[in-house]
Structure 1
Amino acid sequence: MHVKDDPATILVVGGDKSRYPAPAALKRLSPQVDLRLLKSEEELLASCRSRRPALLVLDLDGVGTPLGLIANVRAAELPVEPTIIMIGDDVLPHQRTTAVELGVLEVMERPETLAELQTRLLAHLRLRDRLIKAELAAAERNQRLTEAMELLKIAERRLLEQRPAPRDSRTTTEMIANASHELRTPLHAIIGFSELIRDAAHGAHTDPRYPEYAVDIHQAATHMLAIVDGTLDLARAEAGADPLDIRDIDIGRTVQDSARMLRQLAEGTGITLDIKVPDVPLRIRTDPEKVRQIVINLASNAIKFTPRGGRVTVEVAGLDDGGAVILVIRDTGVGIANQDIATAMKPFGQVRQPDKPHPKGTGLGLPLTRRFVEMLGGALNISSVPGQGTVVSVRLPPDAPGAATQ
């Protein structure tokens, strides 16, 4: 693996130099590529250690024992293991089979033109970069998952200390179990598709299915990151590690600015997004960032479950009982049965309908939103009719808990 912005070195052993692109010409075309034509097999291991090549090309025209050379490279425990390809005019079947078994990525019949050879070499470098980025992304997400699980354990310990009732312990244990379950699907996708690429299951990496696998890996890893981020947020809230920042705000302006962020999402799915706020400022003391997250979570959820041509309305108004406010999100979406609302409010509690596609998302948006509402001293209520739509109302007090001390 080469570091971004460092030259991607290609080492070529054997073969006629006239059959390869001139190093200077290749560098002008792709400045990050450094092509090195070695004079002998003896130079190979030393050059692999000093230059850490991304790609090693063994040309059968000039390499006496190519399979032995491959075995030596694999056994050398190099600091960076290069991608190996073989090029020849007439590659024997047993050479091809043994080379693949030794980890050669492609056994290539010599291209007819230098331009074709150059294109294929650069394609191998691009594929290698994609795989490296996918591996780094997966490693980063695994690290975030580890942090999430550790934070969940902290939350469990605090719950046991503060609320020792058996029900609290079971709730947190179920949350950890559900998090592990929900992460299995994207993890299996990442592992499975990366193994197909690693093992060249469909032959040479020029096969068009490999870039598709890279897309699948990226989507699975992105979904896993969303699960980890949501789990971390919920665990922080449950563990009391997410402090409030209480300020005097115009709730109407905050709601309007938050909902506007979703206009592009709504327009892209063919949904009308209406925002209704008072003409005059409606001031309360609360955490504006939590309000923003509440609005975005609820409104994006409404957009997600509303078919094309539908409508989502975000509205805020004052109440007569002591300055409290009510935030209402209405949609004309698929709705949800009353008996399923409790399930939807649980972490990872997605409602699956047999005649509908598997719902997209992590199943953490509603539980996290309810927790934010509770932190602000409010209450969240959901009413819904299947096939007609859903109304989510959030009542917030004029002064959030702790506001008087700010």
Structure 2
Amino acid sequence: MSSLQLSYQKPRNLLSEINITGSKSESNRLLILQALFPQLKINNCSKSDDSEVMKEALQKSKGSIDIHHAGTAMRFLTAFFAVKEEAEVILTGSERMQQRPIGILVDALRILGADIQYVKEEGFPPLRINGKTILKSEVEIDANVSSQYISALLLIAPSLQNGLTINLKGKTTSKPYLQMTVDLLSQIGVKAKFHANSIWVATAQKIDTQTITVESDWSSASYFYSIVALSSQLSVKLISYKAESLQGDSALVTIYKKLGVQTEFMAAENSIILSKSNKTLSNNSLLLDLSDTPDIAQTIAVTCFGLGLSCKLLGLHTLKIKETDRLIALKTELEKLGASVSVTEETLQLKASETTKNFQNTAIDTYSDHRMAMAFAPLAICDRIVINEAEVVSKSFPDFWKSIQEVGIFSEIK
């Protein structure tokens, strides 16, 4: 598969039922905790490439380990191998991964006593890691760059002989992801507390035998919110979702209410039903601070374009260091479709468009970024569109192209 041409056919069943794989964010955290505490069992683990790469890497303790494009795996495994006694690994990844900074995490681990060396460029993978016992129990780290650096430290904290206190410098970004990590630690029986600008985690020799069922991925649900928003009367039922979610991207419920999508929680079935409502923005403009939920920014921007709305999205500084520079990629691809877009280091502004929604099979480049492919796919409801490098969706949602057929978006290899 290279490029897919997408087209829309109104489905016979206006209420489609979709099973989405378990949350990648929850799964990857639990996989690290399972490696530390084998008493932990995981149900509904993510089938994403990132989680599969994590599983494979955790079986090794020697030699070269290639995590490809998996940014979460790079951060979490750096900390894991640093405290795994007798581990001797070179942790590497794709060309893009070797351009994504990791110095803040490495510096924090070195302060704690870790033995980590850069193989090539200072501050970037690949890393040579020799695991050892860590005795220090307090570290300070910049909190305004990537929450994954901090979560990586939190996940290894229970394995440290004296636990760990992390002092956060600056404004904390993507705070819900840190709260998710703390909540999962507490859920398995590890004492942890997130207070103001510090997080404390106690040491733990073992935990009780238990099974955790991973909630389905809210980031992946965003594409179905977009599809319903752009449709005239579609409804979609998504399986294994709950109102009290650990995932920050559950903010979709509130955000998409402004974009004409109603969410109904079916508590008895652990599912949600998304349906089209008649409510629209009174001023045709959406202003959002997405510093806590940057992974849904691409979806929201594309939805607003498809609806002919203006939007200004703030707090997007972390998108510069993802699989691609997502802000520049969004600007480039939306402008292909006739949009007027401006970006800064942390904002995206889209002007309301009077486009005829006639894309004429315009090809969207995805820059090896799964979220670019999936964010633009819902526009097929407006007109035929082509997605290049369509296979990149496997990074987080392997069944994406099959799943969207259920709501009438069909694809054929171009």
- Relative to its length, the structure with more helix (as a share) is 1
| Larger RCO (CA under 8 A, 6+ residues apart) | 2
Does TM-score exceed 0.5, indicating one fold?
Answer: no
Question: What is the TM-score when the length of structure 2 is the normalising length?
Answer: 0.23
- Relative to its length, the structure with more strand (as a share) is 2
Q: Which has the higher Rg, Structure 1 or Structure 2?
A: 1
